[in-house]
């Protein structure tokens, strides 16, 4: 797409140079220049408008540049169909107001791009502060912060909430045998695989090392047991392609509760940590409920 746009730009410049070299009348050259500029702006404006992740600021910038395109088209048509002096050096009131409007719109659009770049940098900083850099899921601090909000929501709605604590089995052996690069690939594969198994509003975070946590709002004991087993089975049947197919498994500790005023993430973590220890002691690659303890 970039190559096609570059080719269009070169063609437009060639057409304008040709029109100037062959001595076309000034009004025709003005029409060429305005039309070419408008044409070159259409694609970037289209991309701004159709970006599904576009912010309000981005849409405002697209609207301003759309207005600029309309101004340029109007100038191109006026240059051919009227006797108005459209020369850049003209002091006619029409030309003065037209270029003043163009200047204001372009200045506002350029300022918008500066603000848009700052907005992008702020989002990247927020993401860096909230997400784990390797697995691209919530880091521990953000997971704990958001879990408080989710627990409070379930408390108000009097809905059950479930917590899962997951550990990759024998992860140290994977690192020792294949190296940390492969270990990182396993962590990334694990996170990517589980994200596809979860709902958009479930919380999924990395607690540290090879330990991960999931919070499922509205899930009772039966539902969380089914989720835990599905996640375990999915990982057992997957593999990481790192030169050779590397298989790995997980152990899961889980618990479901109707939250009360005393319910917090630390309590759920301690309960599921005991269940996870039970799963590890019973051979790994299995799921255990804290209710069994």
pLDDT tens column, 66-91: 888 888 888 888 877 877 666 665 66
Say whether pLDDT at 171 is over 80: yes
Instruction: State the CATH number of the domain containing residue 250.
Output: 3.30.70.270
Same domain, 180 and 99: no
Assess if residue 82 is contained within a domain: yes
End-to-end CA distance of the chain: 60
144 in Cβ contact with 130 (< 8 Å): no
- Confidence band of 130 (pLDDT split at 50, 70, 90): confident
User: What does the mean pLDDT of the chain come to?
Assistant: 84
Model pLDDT, residue 48: 77
240 in Cβ contact with 189 (< 8 Å): yes
Same domain, 171 and 267: yes
The catalytic residue among 124, 149, 210, 261 is 210
Helix (H) or strand (E) holding 125, with range, is helix 93-130
Assess if residue 279 is contained within a domain: yes
Q: Which residue has the higher pLDDT, 106 or 293?
A: 293
Same domain, 147 and 273: yes
Say whether pLDDT at 203 is over 90: yes
210 classed as catalytic: yes
Same domain, 245 and 107: no
Give the number of domains in the chain.
2
Q: Which of 68-82, 217-231, 252-266 has the lowest mean pLDDT?
A: 68-82
Model pLDDT, residue 275: 97
Mean pLDDT across 175-204 = 93
Assess if residue 239 is contained within a domain: yes
Same domain, 53 and 73: yes
Same domain, 16 and 158: no
Same domain, 263 and 186: yes
Count of residues in the chain: 293
Same domain, 77 and 145: no
Location of structure tokens 């940098």:
121
Say whether pLDDT at 23 is over 70: no
Q: Which domain-ending residue is among 98, 130, 162?
A: 130
Measured distance CA(40)–CA(117) in Å, rounded: 22
Q: What percent of the chain has pLDDT over 90?
A: 48
186 in Cβ contact with 174 (< 8 Å): yes
Same domain, 160 and 285: yes
Same domain, 144 and 287: yes
Same domain, 153 and 117: no
Measured distance CA(136)–CA(154) in Å, rounded: 26
Assess if residue 20 is contained within a domain: yes
Q: Which of 77-86, 101-110, 134-143 has the lowest mean pLDDT?
A: 101-110
Model pLDDT, residue 146: 94
Mean pLDDT across 185-190 = 94
- Confidence band of 2 (pLDDT split at 50, 70, 90): low
- Confidence band of 57 (pLDDT split at 50, 70, 90): confident
- Confidence band of 93 (pLDDT split at 50, 70, 90): low
Measured distance CA(275)–CA(251) in Å, rounded: 10
189 in Cβ contact with 131 (< 8 Å): no
Same domain, 8 and 103: yes
Model pLDDT, residue 270: 95
Assess if residue 135 is contained within a domain: no
Say whether pLDDT at 104 is over 70: yes
Model pLDDT, residue 243: 73
Residue 220, burial from CB neighbour count under 10 angstroms (0-12, 13-18, 19+):
middle
Task: Region of 126 please: left (phi>0), alpha (psi -120 to 50) or beta.
Answer: alpha
Q: Which domain-ending residue is among 82, 109, 130?
A: 130
Mean pLDDT across 186-202 = 95
100: domain range? Answer: 2-130
Q: Which residue has the higher pLDDT, 88 or 58?
A: 58
Model pLDDT, residue 88: 60
Model pLDDT, residue 92: 66
Q: Which domain-ending residue is among 130, 163, 178?
A: 130
């Amino acid at each position: 797409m970039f190559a096609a746009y570059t080719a269009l730009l070169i063609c437009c410049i060639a057409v304008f140079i040709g029109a100037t070299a062959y001595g076309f009348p000034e009004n025709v050259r003005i029409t060429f220049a305005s039309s070419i500029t408008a044409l070159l702006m259409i694609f970037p404006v289209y991309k701004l408008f159709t970006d599904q992740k576009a912010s309000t600021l981005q849409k405002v910038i697209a609207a301003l540049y759309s207005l600029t395109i309309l101004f340029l088209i109007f100038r191109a048509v006026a240059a051919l169909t009227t006797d108005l002096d459209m020369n850049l050096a003209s002091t006619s009131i029409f030309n003065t107001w037209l270029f003043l409007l163009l200047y204001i719109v372009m200045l506002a659009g350029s300022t918008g791009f500066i603000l848009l770049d700052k907005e992008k940098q702020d989002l990247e900083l927020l993401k860096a502060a909230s997400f784990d850099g390797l697995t691209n899921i919530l880091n521990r601090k953000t997971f704990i912060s958001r879990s408080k909000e989710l627990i409070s929501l379930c408390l108000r709605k009097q809905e059950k909430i479930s917590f899962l604590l997951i550990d990759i089995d024998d992860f140290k052996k994977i690192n020792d045998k294949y190296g940390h690069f492969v270990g990182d690939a396993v962590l990334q594969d694990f996170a990517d695989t589980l994200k596809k198994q979860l709902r958009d509003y479930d919380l999924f975070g990395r607690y540290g090392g090879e330990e991960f946590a999931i919070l499922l709002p509205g899930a009772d004991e039966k539902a969380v047991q089914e989720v835990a087993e599905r996640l375990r089975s999915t990982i057992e049947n997957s593999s990481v392609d790192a030169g050779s197919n590397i298989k790995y498994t997980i152990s899961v500790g889980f618990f479901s509760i109707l939250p009360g005023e005393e319910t917090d993430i630390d309590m759920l973590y301690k309960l599921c940590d005991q269940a996870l220890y039970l799963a590890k002691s019973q051979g790994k690659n299995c799921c255990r409920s804290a209710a069994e303890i």
